[in-house]
Structure 1
Amino acid sequence: MERFAGNVLAYLARYEGANANALARNLDAGIEAVDAGSTWLPVTVNHGEAGNAWVCSPRSTYIDYAAEEARRLLPAAIGRPLAGLCGQLARLADACALDRAVALNNWCLSTNLYPPLASLDIDRAIDQARQRWPQHALWLRSLNRHDNGDWLDALQARGFVLIASRQVWLYPDLDAAARLPNMRADARLLQRQDLHWCDNAAIRAEDAPRIAQLYAQLYLGKYSRWNPDYRPQMIADWHRDGLLRLEGWRDDAGQLQCIAGMFGTEHHVSTPIVGYDTAAPARLALYRTLTATSYRQARLSQRHLNLSAGAARFKRLRGGQAAIEYSAVWAPPQARRTRALLHALGLLTRRLGEPLMRHYRL
């Protein structure tokens, strides 16, 4: 809990009362905090602003990004109708104020990490959020049954609806995974001589624009514009404040060619910042090098690794265990249309989305 609480203090010291646009160009949300007893929880507050990246916008998550993923990852016979359904839901979402949302424990990252539920007072945090934002739905995202079963059970008992989001890849036993052939092959890349590893202490503030560029090439250029477009200043600040551990690989000229930015708590670590020169030849294996770098750091720190979503086959062959990730959502009783839409999304994602994710191993 100490590491989580330290992260909260560093984050809120810099951003509480600010706008999330300070972190990413395509975010527009207030950053606040609620009291959870032993610590505070960072909160984003949205009033329905259009065009937000998915880390702050339920509409972007479940409609805009979902439509892109359906067209890109599913067979056309399934993907096209699902994308069309998302288009129909978009108008309904706007009419039902889906993006009038307060997200608790939201760090504006692809994966929010949680402490054990018993270490804080969740009722205190929820009650405070309901009092401060009585017209808003409350969201907690990035919850999976393997790592956050206590949270999911507690939130459901308090009337929260579970909405399936995506399938993520977990590595609770990296020592066992390290014995797999693909992991052993990746580990050999850590001895490469054509690029030079630089650890967290060797990353400089002046590297931040290059890091943001490499991340954007991958996450916005190759994947989706609904991903957060992080600012170089955010990366520099998080590194300086100890919120991000950065490890990268430089060429002979000192230019970063790939970078991994890791965010962690006592028991878990994720890699929300991943970037590499997407124009580089595939034979350089830059993505494999980065994932091996993340594996190594997780093993050294003896923490479980959450590698988020995407590249499913790649992660599965390296011992990744699939887990469905959920958002837990509660809407005030007077927001009847919002509550009805949330219940519909819950049913739709759990009865249709989950089976598709599992079947196609997305």
Structure 2
Amino acid sequence: MSANRVRLYEKADLAELPWERLKDGEYARAFLEPLILDSVAAYISNVQTRMGALVIDDLVLPVTVNDEEYDNSYVCSPYTHYISYAREEIKLVASPLLASLGGPLLSGAGAIMRLSRVNRIVFVNNWLLSTNLYHPLTAEQIGEITRFLTRRFPRHIVAFRSVSPAVCPEVCAGLERAGYGLVPSRFVYLFDPKQAGQKGWRVRNTLKRDRDMMKKSGCRILRHEELGDEHAERIVELYQALYVDKYSHLNPQLTPAFVRLALHRRILTLIGLEREGRLDGILGYFHRNGMMTTPLFGYDTALPKKLGLYRMLSSLLVSEAESRGLLLHQSAGVGAFKADRGAEGTAEFTAVYVRHLPGWRQLIWKALAAVLDRVVIDMARKYKW
């Protein structure tokens, strides 16, 4: 086994990275090179992180390194994910009792998490989007990556976001074999177009109604090639209206520079909905290893709900998954809507490696895993969050 099998390329030596010999190397270069050489915040305004590209064998994986940054988007901050985001979510809980108890509990947990330095963390395969997709990784490769990173960053947690037995079973099993703990992070929904025809008549009828709405809407579908720089500000506005203004400012706040990157380098495939000459809906997806996901999604929330912009965009996504033969990862949220259209819910995890750290820093992760698995995931399954 060669001593330089794993290497981390950062800004100073990025020019040495042999992108062309790596799996999806040109895509990775198109996405990662600007973020590493310029600054992440220029493309995602609420993310502060040190970013590099880790190479093992023929794979290149983005790596983010943080120390504190408690105001970061959840894509780089466990504190934001488990505490700040939860504070916002709990306001939406129907039970006043649960909401009243949750605030103090979260404050206490947050204080412990800060003391445990949960944001001193290295995330592997972190594309800084809501969902990370994976190429196959063996347990042996994961072990090599972990040994390399714990030597390079001995006081940092090593973690992988967006892992699930239902989504990337080999990666998930390899992480556990390498000594990672699986901490529940979200309850997500997967739509398999190959099984859509086998669903009940209610699901098939709902999908048909969505398609019919699209046909009758008078909206024009704008494919990626029909979108340009003149749409960048509007695309950000639509994404912001839904994912930031309506849901949470802790979601990644994409900038016009990111949209232009997507347009020119095709790091996302963009599809728009134009209505009466104006762009009123947008989605952007990417795919890897037989799966697609949509980190960019938005519409004009000021328009009447009866127009069905969300339904039509969701129908477009289903059509893309069907035509490409890809499993559609629909991320978290609006579970009842997705389940009505044939999506299946499953738990998603953050895999954390803490065995090299002092015992007092390990305890919070064990506690989080126990509480979230028994309470939050069960509630998400029950209420289709």
Instruction: Give yes or no for the alignment of 1:201 onto 2:231.
Output: no
Contact 1:36/1:120 (8 A) holds in 2: no
Q: Secondary structure at the match of 1:9?
A: helix
Select the structure of larger CA radius of gyration: 2
Name 1:27's counterpart in structure 2: 47
Contact 1:17/1:30 (8 A) holds in 2: no
From 310, 316, 321, give the equivalent of 1:287: 310
> Partners in 1 of 2:125 and 2:88 — Cα distance?
26
> Partners in 2 of 1:3 and 1:333 — Cα distance?
31
Q: For residues 88-132 of structure 1, what are the alpha-carbon distances to aligned partners after superposition, in whole Å with 9 as ceiling and x for unaligned?
A: 111111111111111100011000001122499323322222222
> Partners in 1 of 2:325 and 2:122 — Cα distance?
33
Q: Superposed, which structure 2 residues align to 1:93-242 within 5 Å?
A: 93-118=113-138, 121-174=141-194, 176=196, 180-242=204-266
> Partners in 2 of 1:156 and 1:207 — Cα distance?
44
User: Post-superposition shift, 1:264?
Assistant: 1.2
Q: For residues 18-50 of structure 1, what are the alpha-carbon distances to aligned partners after superposition, in whole Å with 9 as ceiling and x for unaligned?
A: 542122111111111222211111011111112
Name 2:102's counterpart in structure 1: 82
* TM superposition score normalised by structure 2: 0.89
Instruction: Give yes or no for the alignment of 1:349 onto 2:372.
Output: yes
User: Post-superposition shift, 1:303?
Assistant: 0.6
Name 2:15's counterpart in structure 1: none
Larger displacement relative to structure 2 (12-21 or 133-142): 12-21
Q: Secondary structure at the match of 1:147?
A: coil
> Partners in 2 of 1:174 and 1:272 — Cα distance?
23
* TM superposition score normalised by structure 1: 0.94
Name 2:86's counterpart in structure 1: 66
> Partners in 1 of 2:194 and 2:222 — Cα distance?
22
Contact 1:173/1:304 (8 A) holds in 2: yes
From 333, 339, 347, give the equivalent of 2:362: 339
> Partners in 1 of 2:195 and 2:371 — Cα distance?
37
Q: Superposed, which structure 2 residues align to 1:313-332 within 5 Å?
A: 313-332=336-355
> Partners in 2 of 1:93 and 1:119 — Cα distance?
29
User: Post-superposition shift, 1:210?
Assistant: 0.6
Pair 334,55 (structure 1): closer, same or farther in 2 beyond 3 Å = closer
> Partners in 2 of 1:272 and 1:174 — Cα distance?
23
Contact 1:3/1:265 (8 A) holds in 2: no
> Partners in 1 of 2:355 and 2:42 — Cα distance?
30
User: Post-superposition shift, 1:86?
Assistant: 1.3
Q: Which runs of 5+ in 1 are unaligned?
A: none
> Partners in 2 of 1:5 and 1:340 — Cα distance?
38
Larger displacement relative to structure 2 (146-155 or 173-182): 173-182
Aligned length: 361
| Counterpart residue type for residue 172 of structure 2 | L
Instruction: Give yes or no for the alignment of 1:91 onto 2:111.
Output: yes
User: Post-superposition shift, 1:269?
Assistant: 0.3
Contact 2:142/2:178 (8 A) holds in 1: no
Aligned-CA RMSD value: 2.0
Larger displacement relative to structure 2 (184-193 or 143-152): 184-193
Q: For residues 136-174 of structure 1, what are the alpha-carbon distances to aligned partners after superposition, in whole Å with 9 as ceiling and x for unaligned?
A: 101111112211122221111211111101110001235
Instruction: Give yes or no for the alignment of 1:38 onto 2:61.
Output: no
Contact 2:270/2:284 (8 A) holds in 1: yes
| Counterpart residue type for residue 58 of structure 1 | P
| Counterpart residue type for residue 69 of structure 2 | E
Q: Superposed, which structure 2 residues align to 1:266-277 within 5 Å?
A: 266-277=289-300
Aligned-pair identity (%): 29
User: Post-superposition shift, 1:67?
Assistant: 2.2
Contact 1:37/1:120 (8 A) holds in 2: no
Q: Secondary structure at the match of 1:180?
A: helix
User: Post-superposition shift, 1:6?
Assistant: 3.9
Name 2:69's counterpart in structure 1: 49
> Partners in 1 of 2:225 and 2:353 — Cα distance?
42
Q: Secondary structure at the match of 1:275?
A: strand
Pair 4,175 (structure 1): closer, same or farther in 2 beyond 3 Å = farther
Larger displacement relative to structure 2 (149-158 or 297-306): 149-158
Pair 218,332 (structure 1): closer, same or farther in 2 beyond 3 Å = same
User: Post-superposition shift, 1:333?
Assistant: 2.7
Pair 120,303 (structure 1): closer, same or farther in 2 beyond 3 Å = farther
| Counterpart residue type for residue 244 of structure 2 | L
Contact 2:139/2:175 (8 A) holds in 1: no
| Counterpart residue type for residue 147 of structure 1 | V
Q: Secondary structure at the match of 2:303?
A: coil
From 274, 282, 290, give the equivalent of 1:250: 274
From 293, 299, 320, give the equivalent of 1:297: 320
Q: Secondary structure at the match of 1:319?
A: coil
